[in-house]
Amino acid sequence: MAGSNEIPSKILQAEIEVAARISNREAAGLTTPEAVRTLRAFGLRCSRSAPLIEAQISIPEPELQHVVAELCERYGAGLHRKPRQRLLTITATHAFVDDALHPVIQAMLDVVIAARHEEARRLIAELRASMPDE
């Protein structure tokens, strides 16, 4: 996929921006390890002051499910699939899911979808260019 080299950097940048927003800092001053520590610390603070909830999300592609699993592990949130269900279940506090995890996952999906749309447009242009003259 063209642009696939940009996908990881854009996801890491989204992670930094979310961490900066949560910690009231400038994103330019944060590194990826600092962002991860900030998000983990936020999750811990939230879990001490609020009960855990189960949030279910649907991500049909196994590859992206693995990325979500890695993000959950990275931030200390639980992730599992209930028996006979396709949905992924995230175990964390409501505030952590809404303010940290969801924005990063949404940014990841936006980046992947944009890259796929770009690739599809490029393929369509190549197909049209290869049409025989009538």
Q: Which range marks the domain in which residue 46 is found? A: 6-129
The pLDDT of 66-86, averaged and rounded, is 91
108 has pLDDT over 60: yes
Question: Of 32, 4, 17, 18, whose CA–CA distance to 112 is shortest?
Answer: 4
Residue 1 belongs to some domain of the structure: no
Q: Is residue 55 within a helix (H) or strand (E), and if so which, with residue range?
A: strand 52-57
Residue 29 belongs to some domain of the structure: yes
Q: What's the pTM? A: 0.80
**What is the three-class DSSP state of 60?**
coil
What total number of domains does the chain contain? 1
21 has pLDDT over 60: yes
For 28, the token pair is: 């330019």
CA–CA separation, 123 vs 70, rounded Å? 31
